[in-house]
Structure 1
């Protein structure tokens, strides 16, 4: 999907924002981007109409994403480096958040810092039946990134790559670098093809001040392009399934 298609299919202007309109885009495309938001808009109050807030790594409900020098040499969202495609909370023992939402306080002004997204349901549909069966019936050891571990907030959990559920859409847990794939003959190839798919199919979101991006974390993988503006500042919430 090109950026132009993204703008046409999953973008809402603030004047058209409503819970039904947002849910429709999330159900159809897996994500929604809202711009034209005024400065006095209460992002948190609106998002709680989509789902209940979940505590994040540090137990708080709102996580600030702003580069810190202490994390410059670690793999971490709190620096300016690119991130690999991943889902969120693959290393949590319970159900990961259904939705991730980011809103922008200070955008990057250097052409970087884009959030990139790709639909993993489409990728999984393209796997062979044998591959889907293998990665949905075997559990894998997922662990926190180096940056989260450095904050003494690391976790470890075991899950299948795809979790099929009765009466609910599946959960795809994805990490390229924080999953133990050493004793599996199928997963390494699947991961490599997933990254190729992500590189070809992702959309890129360039934030404006106050803009909001929300996506289905059970369906979409996300990453980030690198940037140099240390003033870039986003806030994030996790929303549980209802």
Structure 2
């Protein structure tokens, strides 16, 4: 269950909730600046695509045929920036205005819950099947793909990297009608089958969060899969942050 923080030690409580639950919702904030100050106490901001530390998650015309943050379409289960080394430890979404249509949820699934429902063969593929995850562009310090399994380890802590779109369409922000030849997919048919299986488990066991206006959702990006449900309200507006541990 998510937790709401109201005391002056919110940053410490956020860290505790991330350790225990993998995510938390922070309400009763005094605006975006307050959210930024809390996040700076949690960790260091990491530049995102294009080199900025803020990304506006808002509908932009021209993206209607893609599973992309600035479309209104469903985005399937993934972790953020799996080709970054390291990938962002935490993600945060500050909600300026939530969709009034009931869509636009941020859905989450803990790696531990996922692994409890995978077959031995599926778990083995996530542990042993290496993928060249595309990384950042050279103009933001990119060094090329990160070739790793979907589950690797930082000491004893598992690190999850996953993209439904990459496994099924060979693209992070795939066109909705993308159907590339199986031979072009990172793990071929086995990877596509795994993506569909993870998608089914995600739908069955996810936690659904509709972030309230003025609230902040933070989660462990190396532990939690996340997705976004379709929405119709074009006024929906969130700001995304990547955070290093």
- TM-score of the pair, normalised by structure 1: 0.82
Matches within 5 A, 1:1-242: 9-15=1-7, 18-39=10-31, 41-92=33-84, 94-129=85-120, 131-143=122-134, 156-167=145-156, 169-179=157-167, 181=185, 183-184=187-188, 186-241=190-245
Compute the displacement of 1:57 (Å): 0.5
Compute the displacement of 1:46 (Å): 1.2
Greater Cα offset, 109-118 or 124-133: 124-133
2-structure distance, mates of 1:29, 1:40: 24
Unaligned runs of 5+ in 2: 171-184
Secondary structure of the residue aligned to 1:14 is: coil
Q: Are the structure 2 counterparts of residues 183 and 234 from structure 1 closer, same or farther at C-alpha, using a change threshold of 3 Å?
A: closer
* Count of aligned positions: 223
2-structure distance, mates of 1:128, 1:16: 44
Greater Cα offset, 218-227 or 181-190: 181-190
1-structure distance, mates of 2:32, 2:106: 24
Q: Are the structure 2 counterparts of residues 211 and 185 from structure 1 closer, same or farther at C-alpha, using a change threshold of 3 Å?
A: same
Greater Cα offset, 29-38 or 59-68: 29-38
Which stretches of structure 1, 4 residues or more, deviate above 6 A after TM superposition? none
2-structure distance, mates of 1:185, 1:228: 33
Compute the displacement of 1:11 (Å): 2.3
Q: Are the structure 2 counterparts of residues 221 and 108 from structure 1 closer, same or farther at C-alpha, using a change threshold of 3 Å?
A: same
Unaligned runs of 5+ in 1: 1-8
- TM-score of the pair, normalised by structure 2: 0.81
1-structure distance, mates of 2:32, 2:153: 41
2-structure distance, mates of 1:203, 1:17: 26
Q: Are the structure 2 counterparts of residues 128 and 104 from structure 1 closer, same or farther at C-alpha, using a change threshold of 3 Å?
A: same
